[in-house]
Amino acid sequence: MGTASAVVVIGAAIASPHIGSTAAFTRHTQMPSAANAARRPDPPPTPATQPISLTITPFDRQSCPATATACVDLTRHITWLQSAGKVTFGPVQAEPGPPGSPHATPRGTFQVSWKAGQNYVSNIYHEPMPWAVFFAPGGIAFHGGSLTNPSHGCVHLTTANAHYYNEHLPIGAEVVVF
């Protein structure tokens, strides 16, 4: 038997600012053939192989305190904005740096230190970082970027969502990455 593939088109719902909106997204993955599946057990689901649920879980609520303005769940590749613990934007899909690599997105509690505009370019990687919102040491920021290729430690968002974060995350806002 051959392999099967699943492809889902990611629509405009990602950029929707509606509170509590949910959607599921699946990345392009190769499904093992029946012969290959019989030889090895299925690996546990990972963000790259399972649908991305844009729903905040009890674990998310516990991991991101109500005092935070922005929350990032690195395992599920989602982020959202909140005020006094109530979601004000998102959750939306995000692409962080790969865990366990030198470019892993750092976990912790940070504050927004500065913001850049639409045409900002990294002075380290010489890559565009539209609407960057810098929040962690080493130039770590939310910014527009690929949602399929890992970042160099930043948190990639769609350009529209990065613009929204840039406009709604003030300097000094608390960002919790878990």
Mean of pLDDT values over 89-114: 97
* pLDDT band (50, 70, 90) for residue 52: confident
CA 51 to chain centre: 14
Residue type, 59: F
> Which tops the pLDDT comparison, 54 or 27?
54
Mean of pLDDT values over 90-112: 96
| Sequence-ordered list of residues with C-beta below 8 angstroms from that of 35, at least 6 positions apart, any chain | 1
Percent of the chain at pLDDT above 90? Answer: 69
Task: Say yes or no to pLDDT of 56 above 90.
Answer: yes
Task: Say yes or no to pLDDT of 136 above 70.
Answer: yes
From 96, 113, 101, 102, select the one nearest 148 (Cα to Cα): 96
DSSP state at residue 14? G
pLDDT reported for residue 35: 38
Query: Torsion angle of alpha carbons 14, 144, 7, 32, nearest 10°?
Result: -120
Domain 4-177 belongs in CATH node 2.40.440.10:
yes
pLDDT reported for residue 95: 98
* pLDDT band (50, 70, 90) for residue 50: low
Range with the poorest average pLDDT among 42-46, 93-97, 136-140: 42-46
pLDDT reported for residue 118: 97
Percent of the chain at pLDDT above 70? Answer: 71
Mean of pLDDT values over 144-172: 97
Largest distance between two CA atoms of the chain: 56
* pLDDT band (50, 70, 90) for residue 82: very high
Measured CA to CA in angstroms, residue 4 lies from 7, 31, 119 at distances of 10, 5, 40
* pLDDT band (50, 70, 90) for residue 83: very high
